Amino acid sequence: VGEFRKVLDCPEFALFFIGNHRSMIAISLFVRQRFDAAQRLISQAIAHFLSDDYSSFSRLK
């Protein structure tokens, strides 16, 4: 949970998250009370953000 909180507090992640298609789907699932499915998508978005692909991409900017 600590790692999760750190990622959510990161402004770079916030920008990534807002622009991420999974986030839009997750938000709509939350609105429809589909918390389990939304949580899964958020976890995937975080995993993608923490992956080397995204880290190297953010260093290039």
Q: Note the pLDDT tens digit of each residue in 3-45.
A: 666 666 666 666 666 666 667 777 777 778 887 887 887 788 7
List, in order, residues 6 or more apart from 38 with CB less than 8 Å away. 26, 27, 29, 30
Q: Report the domain count for the chain.
A: 1
Parent domain of 55: 2-60
pLDDT score for 16: 65
List, in order, residues 6 or more apart from 54 with CB less than 8 Å away. 16, 48
pLDDT at position 61 over 50: no
Q: Give the other-Cβ count within 10 Å of 57's Cβ.
A: 11
3-state DSSP call for residue 10?
coil
Cα separation, 20 vs 58, in Å, equals: 14
